[in-house]
A = this chain, B = another copy of it.
Amino acid sequence: MKVVRNPAELTQWAETQRSAGKRIGFVPTMGFLHEGHLSLMRLLRPQVDQLIVSIYVNPLQFGPSEDLETYPSDMDGDSRLCEQTGVDVLFAPADLYPDGFCTSVSVHTLTNGLCGASRPGHFEGVATVVARLIGLSRCHIAAFGEKDYQQLCVLRRMARDLALPVEIVGGAIVRDQDGLALSSRNTYLSAEDRVRALSLSQALRAMKKGLEAGETAVGALLATGVHVLDVDTVDYLEIVDAFTLEPVQCVTRSCRALVAAHVGGTRLIDNLALEP
């Protein structure tokens, strides 16, 4: 596995690969890799000739009161996992942005609600870094986890709107056996908080069960979910159209149930598909 630290070097390498007719896959991450990240690498591995994984904790997507400074990292462990998973290039830049960097990409509408409402600037930071990473990596296909469902929708829309020469694919959420969606931030949870954190996925499953039992009214389904949540504060619990992310009254087309909540100082998110 090749380790690249310089953005220009990554592009030069990728251009050479492209000229040789190689198909390039890309999984951008912020490191502290878990099975969720590895599942994205395994998803792309058979579809591409060259697989790039990036590790970069992007300051642009953190708010002033968020955990940029304390975001967990383990470069040695990450490097080992990438190598074991068949990654060709690990891109781990110290500086990603050139001097005088002053461009930003915004995806409106889709970012008004959900995490966009409580994390101003977050998705602009995400869209900007991903646009630059896709450009630098010259990738044909890039994979993102459904765990960050709104992010996936935002990046798909960005790629379509700017006609970026890349296919964006989503990977299913990977969960621990007890149902907790894997997240690098789970490392912040105390043993007690980890138990309470399970209530997020339990609430989503309760809502899905309600739907399967015949309840299609969103108000009733949300009441079921709220009842299950055992958290400090609920940021949001919503059922929205799976594509536009707009609120719905009734689950009569593909929808998504999404939750964000604070447990012991840690902000957690989860989501689940709801099909009528």
Contacts and interface: CB of A to CB of B under 8 A. Distances in A.
Interface of A: 7, 11, 97-98, 100-110, 127, 131-132, 134-136, 138, 157-158, 160-165, 244
B163 A102 contact: no
Contact of A136 (B107, B108, B163): B163
Nearest to A11: B163
A244 B162 CA distance: 26
Contacts of A101: 161
30 contacts: A7-B163, A11-B163, A97-B161, A98-B160, A98-B161, A100-B109, A100-B157, A100-B244, A101-B161, A102-B108, A102-B157, A102-B161, A103-B105, A103-B106, A103-B107, A103-B108, A103-B157, A103-B162, A104-B105, A105-B105, A105-B106, A105-B162, A106-B106, A131-B162, A132-B163, A134-B163, A135-B162, A135-B165, A136-B163, A165-B165
Contact of A164 (B98, B127, B135): B135
Contacts of A132: 161-163
Contacts of A127: 103
A122 B106 CA distance: 16
Contacts of A107: 102-103
A14 to B, nearest CB: 9
A8 to B, nearest CB: 9
A131 B162 CA distance: 6
Contacts of A106: 103-106
Given A103-B105, A103-B106, A134-B163, 14 more contacts: A11-B163, A101-B161, A102-B157, A103-B107, A103-B161, A104-B106, A104-B108, A105-B162, A106-B106, A131-B162, A132-B161, A132-B162, A138-B165, A165-B165
Contacts of A161: 97-98, 101-103, 132
Contacts of A97: 161
A134 B135 CA distance: 12
A159 to B, nearest CB: 9
A238 to B, nearest CB: 19
B98 A102 contact: no
Contacts of A105: 103-106, 162
A229 B162 CA distance: 41
A158 to B, nearest CB: 5
A109 B98 contact: no
